[in-house]
Amino acid sequence: MMTKTFLTIASIFSFSILLAQNSTGYWQQHVDYEMEIDFDAKDYQYDGSQVLEYTNNSPDTLDRVFYHMYFNAFQPGSEMDVRSRTIEDPDSRVGDRISKLSDEEIGFMRAKTLQQDGKELNFKLVGTVLEVELNEPILPGKSSTFKMDFEGQVPVQIRRSGRNNAEGVELSMTQWYPKMAEYDFEGWHADPYIGREFHGVWGNFDVKISIDKDFILGGTGYIQNPNEVGYGYEDEGEKVRRRGKKLTWHFNAPNVHDFAWAADKDYIHDKITGKDGTTLHFLYKDNKEIIENWKNLQSKTSDLLDFFNEHIGPYPYDQYSVIQGGDGGMEYAMCTLITGEREFGSLVGVTAHEMAHSWFQHILATDEAQHEWMDEGFTSYISSLAMNEVMDQNRENVFAGTYRGYTSLANSGFEQPQTTHADRYEYNSAYGVTAYSKGSVFLAQLGYLIGQENLDNTLNRYFDEWKFKHPTPNDFIRIAEKVSGAELSWYLNDWTRTTNTIDYAIKGVSVEPGTTIVTLERVALTPMPIEVKVDFKGGTSETYYIPLRIMRWTKPGATNIQEDWAWAFPTYTLEIPSPQYGVEKIEIDPSGLMADVNRENNVKVLNE
């Protein structure tokens, strides 16, 4: 009897644990790629075979799949082309250039044959997306093997990838292979390639690239045959003999969601080892104008790695490569492609930004098309802090310019909510400020809300809990809530889903014996807790903290804590006990970390 009761309790207990685990509801798809590429560098074309083992971890039965065929964007009349020619402020790198490409200059990516578990499939190429009807649906928990033969042509370098970039790098090979689209709790993400950006399925890549043996490659993944390829990858003291016309480079990349590479015959290849043991590779043109900068970049990159390891979480791969290529700076798995003919500060700056994306984009893989601010904004936030430290910038408010950028967009009337799909902004410039600046302010201002230490801990815990997954905005704010204890859903809502702004003002001041009465006003819609600094005549000052009622919380370290301010009330009365000589100056948010769109009404100087 007793045993049975005990067993029942035990089984109820373990059942409830099981339920608790399932109630998070998180799942993600998995894909393993095997690719063999035969590259013809003379006409920039390649043939590929791809075997893809796809596992459906969703609770749904899938009766179709989609592949991204990105290179088809670089054809006259593509969505990328037409969008660039119809938007008012096109990216200057694109402009109308795609419309003028000849057949030899376009990019293409075509499937020749496609099979599922050995049986031919019907497929249809629609722009940059291959739509595939399955013969056999993939049931929840089941896997299917897809085998594709494909052919591609590398476009003239226009955006991100291509041949012969402005600095003479021959091959920037990004978004270059048929890539399975992601299916997640929101369904399929078969976004056409218009301007930006990427979302992919986590998995392992095994890639063999055969190319003229004079090319030196860098990219995602560990080289499996270093002593056959050489060029600085070989073991120390190893003599490398490259026989035949072509050389096969064999890469293996575990647990990534993209694969990129670049190749040039004139690359210098240096490597150093970071403090954490990560091997840092640098591949750059043998151009005497840039060599010194690229040598000096190497120890800075190691410092950046240390900064991100500490402030976000430990870099989980053994290798990272900074590769000259592309058309600016773009992040990829275990590497970046950046242009390299830059002033030193700009070279370190672009490396800082793209390297930070290894955390915010790659390891913490948010859907960039939908949550571009989590990707670009978080990256901008952490790389600004990293640059301040690594380059000894000693800036008082690292984010002052970032706030100004956001404020001017907010006041322009052209702002769209951060929930806007990355391709759906009316202006590219509005996308830029919304994703990068407003996204960075989201974090810096969260530090204002919950305190810097809570923010730092939030980033660390966010990394721990969401690495190698696809976190959403809510996943992030829940971590911030759990770390701080404050209620923050209102912040996520106002800041990211609306264009509501923050504007608090000093409406009036009246002086009575021993007391200064300040009337504060919430002018705009977004609520905030308020910090008011009061300078007294005679040189002393005090900071008063007014909690925001809906946060149900008080900031640690706050001084002169007042009654909370309920959002619906447009005004608030702050009584300041004043010494004999009285008050000289009153200022809302002396930190500058509250993104008040009108700071002119934040300060009151009392002259008497």
CB of 386 to Zn ion, least distance (A): 13
Residue 353 in marked binding region: yes
DSSP letter at 118 equals T
**Which of residues 328 and 570 has its CB atom nearest to Zn ion in the complex?**
328
SS3 state of residue 551? helix
**Which of residues 153 and 379 has its CB atom nearest to Zn ion in the complex?**
379
Determine the Cα–Cα distance for residues 81 and 8; give it in Å rounded to an integer.
65
**Which of residues 107 and 349 has its CB atom nearest to Zn ion in the complex?**
349
Determine the Cα–Cα distance for residues 296 and 344; give it in Å rounded to an integer.
8
Edge-first strand order for the sheet with 62-68 is: 122-126, 129-138, 62-68, 179-180
**Contact pattern from residue 366 through residue 385 relative to Zn ion, giving x for each residue in contact according to CB under 5 A and a dash for the rest:** ----------x--x------
Residue 68 in marked binding region: no
**Contact pattern from residue 434 through residue 473 relative to Zn ion, giving x for each residue in contact according to CB under 5 A and a dash for the rest:** ----------------------------------------
Determine the Cα–Cα distance for residues 558 and 532; give it in Å rounded to an integer.
11
CB of 333 to Zn ion, least distance (A): 14
DSSP H or E stretch at residue 339: none
Edge-first strand order for the sheet with 267-273 is: 267-273, 279-285, 319-324, 335-338, 329-332
Which neighbouring-strand residues pair with 531?
545
- Pairing label, strands 603-605, 203-212: unpaired
Residue 371 in marked binding region: no
Q: What are the DSSP calls for 210-236, one per residue?
A: EEETT-EEEESSEES-HHHH-TT-SPT
CB of 379 to Zn ion, least distance (A): 5
CB of 353 to Zn ion, least distance (A): 6
CA dihedral (374, 379, 384, 387) in degrees, to 10, reads 170
Determine the Cα–Cα distance for residues 262 and 162; give it in Å rounded to an integer.
10
Do 397 and 226 touch, CB atoms closer than 8 A? no
Q: How many CA atoms lie within 13 A of 569 on its CB side?
A: 11
**Which of residues 56 and 351 has its CB atom nearest to Zn ion in the complex?**
351
**Which of residues 372 and 481 has its CB atom nearest to Zn ion in the complex?**
372
Determine the Cα–Cα distance for residues 535 and 36; give it in Å rounded to an integer.
70
Determine the Cα–Cα distance for residues 333 and 256; give it in Å rounded to an integer.
6
CB of 372 to Zn ion, least distance (A): 9
**Contact pattern from residue 379 through residue 418 relative to Zn ion, giving x for each residue in contact according to CB under 5 A and a dash for the rest:** x---------------------------------------
Q: Is the peptide bond before 197 cis (omega within 30 degrees of 0)?
A: yes
**Contact pattern from residue 332 through residue 371 relative to Zn ion, giving x for each residue in contact according to CB under 5 A and a dash for the rest:** ----------------------------------------
Determine the Cα–Cα distance for residues 559 and 540; give it in Å rounded to an integer.
14
CB of 534 to Zn ion, least distance (A): 41
Closest CA to 473 of 494, 502, 447, 450: 494
For 212, phi then psi, to 5°, come to -45, 135
CB of 444 to Zn ion, least distance (A): 17
Catalytic residues: 354, 436
Using CA atoms, how far residue 370 sits from 24, 186, 470, in Å, is: 21, 11, 12
**Which of residues 170 and 376 has its CB atom nearest to Zn ion in the complex?**
376
End-to-end CA distance of the chain: 86
Determine the Cα–Cα distance for residues 75 and 71; give it in Å rounded to an integer.
8
Determine the Cα–Cα distance for residues 90 and 93; give it in Å rounded to an integer.
8
Do 36 and 211 touch, CB atoms closer than 8 A? no
CB of 217 to Zn ion, least distance (A): 24
In the complex, the residues that contact Zn ion under the rule CB under 5 A are 376, 379
Binding annotation for Zn(2+): 353, 357, 376
Q: Which residues are annotated as a binding site?
A: 353, 357, 376
